[in-house]
């Protein structure tokens, strides 16, 4: 009786354990997934379930994709923009700004989108965050996230425009081209411009390598330096950074400027309006707006003449910017109460004299000799004042300009 009871108790206990195990088992639909997860979790390094085996692959929410793209030279064009690209900077890009480096490789991408990519950490240098103005050096690795580029058709440059620009070349040798830029033409395409001076000059000359050494505003006329080879670009940009290039601008401003000479030493801060348009204002030192911070800015001015134009007091001013901030001369002159004639951005006086252009002309520029320049390259360049400005200036004042 005792043996029978013990045997019955053992069988009952075994049945209870079996029922509990059945209750713990997952549904058939998820059993395969759980089994594979369990196998991967317990797999040893080097086995088929190890995560280390997939380290050379890019994993997304959709699963495992192709292998991580290998690094490639920045001298080679990107062929697949749908993937992450890693570009190794060479001597040809050494010293170039991040935004200029990217613009040359992401053709068709609006500048506003490019800067958004940089701000949102989609662009990295050597694995670290960067800013648009950061410099690249040989050996740096630039990571570019996948981007969608619009197809931009090559600009159509009329024969008349091409000939007109070529006729504006003031000086040219094997490394440098000096152009007297017309007002109303941007120096490069983007921000609503299908092309600018640099794209037009490439087509007009048939030269693939032409690069802007510096920039001037779309509505400003005058001297613009263009590099025909990389060594000239680097040498002259170094001079701009070290402030050994001296620039002089002629401008017509509202009102009579009382001081014969003046230094306008006011920090400038860039900001963006609600419609996306860029503006600059005088700010307090270290004032910040978004990612932008106020930068020290100095403009030296000299009053050359005062006269009336259509019954309005006007001054002819020689402006010499010691720094190269966006809209620097325009904002500084407006700040002292003498906005430039034709300045629709910073002229606050609704009764100011209306003229047909922004009266700002990049008149003279002086640079140092560079290692690649021969003895024939001059150090000083002068761009003749355009007729749409000279028509506003009295004859005796024009003679004064020529004597400077």
Catalytic (active-site) positions = 217
| CB distance 278 to 284 below 8 Å | no
CB atoms within 10 A of CB 290: 10
DSSP state of 46: T
Kindly list the distances between the CA atom of residue 335 and the CA atoms of 265, 266, 319, 379, in Å, as whole numbers in the listed order: 11, 9, 14, 33
Query: DSSP states of 218-271 as a string?
Result: TT-EEEEEEESSHHHHHHHHHHHHTT-SEEEEEEEEES----SEEEEE--EEEE
279: which strand partners? 271
Kindly list the distances between the CA atom of residue 166 and the CA atoms of 177, 179, 381, 397, in Å, as whole numbers in the listed order: 10, 8, 17, 30
Using DSSP, state whether 210 is helix, strand or coil.
Answer: coil
H-run or E-run covering 373: none
For the chain, the farthest-separated pair of C-alpha atoms sits apart, in whole angstroms, at 137
| CB distance 33 to 26 below 8 Å | no
- Which of 210, 269, 280, 214 lies closest to 241, judged by CA? 214
């Amino acid at each position: 009786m005792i043996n029978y009871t013990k045997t019955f108790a053992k069988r009952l206990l075994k049945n209870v354990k079996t029922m509990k195990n059945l209750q713990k088992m997952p549904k058939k639909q998820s059993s395969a997934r759980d089994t594979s997860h369990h196998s991967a979790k317990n797999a040893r390094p080097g086995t088929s379930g190890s995560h280390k085996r997939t380290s050379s692959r890019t994993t997304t929410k959709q699963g495992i994709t192709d292998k991580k793209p290998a690094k490639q030279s920045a001298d080679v064009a990107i062929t697949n923009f749908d993937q992450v690209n890693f570009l190794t900077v060479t001597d040809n890009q050494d010293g170039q700004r991040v935004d200029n480096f990217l613009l040359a490789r992401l053709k068709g991408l609006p500048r506003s989108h490019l800067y958004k990519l940089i701000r949102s950490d989609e662009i990295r240098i050597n694995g670290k965050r960067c800013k648009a103005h950061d410099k690249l050096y040989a050996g740096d690795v630039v990571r570019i996230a996948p981007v969608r580029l619009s197809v931009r058709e090559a600009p159509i440059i009329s024969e008349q425009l091409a000939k007109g620009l070529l006729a504006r070349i003031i000086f040219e040798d094997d490394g440098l081209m000096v152009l007297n830029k017309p007002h109303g033409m941007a120096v490069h395409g983007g921000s609503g411009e299908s092309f600018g001076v640099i794209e037009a000059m490439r087509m007009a000359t048939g030269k693939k390598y032409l690069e802007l050494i510096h920039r001037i505003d779309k509505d400003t006329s005058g001297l613009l330096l263009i590099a025909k080879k990389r060594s000239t670009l680097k040498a002259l940009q170094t001079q701009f950074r070290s402030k050994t290039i001296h620039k002089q601008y002629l401008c017509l401003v509202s009102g009579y400027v009382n001081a014969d000479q003046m230094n306008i030493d006011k920090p400038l801060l860039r900001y963006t309006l609600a419609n996306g348009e860029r503006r600059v204002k005088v700010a307090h030192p270290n004032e910040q707006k978004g990612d932008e911070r106020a930068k020290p800015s100095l403009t030296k001015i000299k009053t050359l003449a005062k006269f009336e134009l259509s019954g309005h007091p006007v001054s002819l001013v020689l402006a010499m910017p010691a720094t190269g901030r966006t809209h620097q001369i325009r904002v500084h002159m407006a700040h002292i109460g003498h906005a430039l004639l034709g300045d629709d951005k910073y002229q606050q006086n609704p009764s100011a004299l209306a003229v047909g252009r922004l009266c700002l002309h990049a008149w003279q520029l002086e640079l140092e000799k560079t290692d690649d320049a021969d003895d024939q390259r001059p150090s000083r360049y002068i761009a003749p004042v355009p007729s749409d400005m000279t028509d506003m200036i009295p004859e005796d004042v024009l003679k004064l300009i020529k004597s400077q």
